[in-house]
Amino acid sequence: MLEACVLVTILCGFLGIIFKKNLVMKIISMDIMSTGVIAYYVLIASRAGLYTPIVSTKEVAYADPVPQAVILTAIVIGFSIQALMLVCVMKLAKNNPTLETSVIEKNNTP
């Protein structure tokens, strides 16, 4: 059930990238898609258990730390790329105030 929800989130993000006309909306859709991917990693990390993997005396089922560590890197990368893209959008907004991709594309392709 949870897996289905996560996959629907990814799909929603992807469809948003295709169907939204505004560049900012497209970037937000991409963010939704990456949220879905991150959630998927967390979901897979919790296959074995939910407890934080810190050694203690109690016998509990630990969550898998590897996917979590990996996705942390991906979150940082995704966030920096998003920042770069938004700077681009600010620059483009001067000459293309509506920020519709079709218009920007028409103005900027030879």
Where do contacts with other proteins occur on this chain (CB under 8 A)? 10, 14, 17-18, 26-27, 30, 33-34, 37, 40-41, 44, 47, 66-67, 70, 73-74, 77-78, 80-81, 84-85, 88-89, 91-92, 95, 101-102, 104-105, 107-110
In degrees, to the nearest 5, what angle opens at C-alpha 106 toward C-alphas 101 and 19? Answer: 30
Q: How far is the CB of 94 from other proteins (least distance, A)?
A: 8
Of 68, 74, 38, nearest in space to 50 by CA: 68
CA–CA dist 52, 58 (Å, integer): 12
CA–CA dist 71, 95 (Å, integer): 37
Q: Cα–chain-centroid distance for residue 81?
A: 11
Q: How far is the CB of 93 from other proteins (least distance, A)?
A: 11
Q: How far is the CB of 37 from other proteins (least distance, A)?
A: 5
Minimum CB distance to other proteins smaller for 57 or for 104: 104
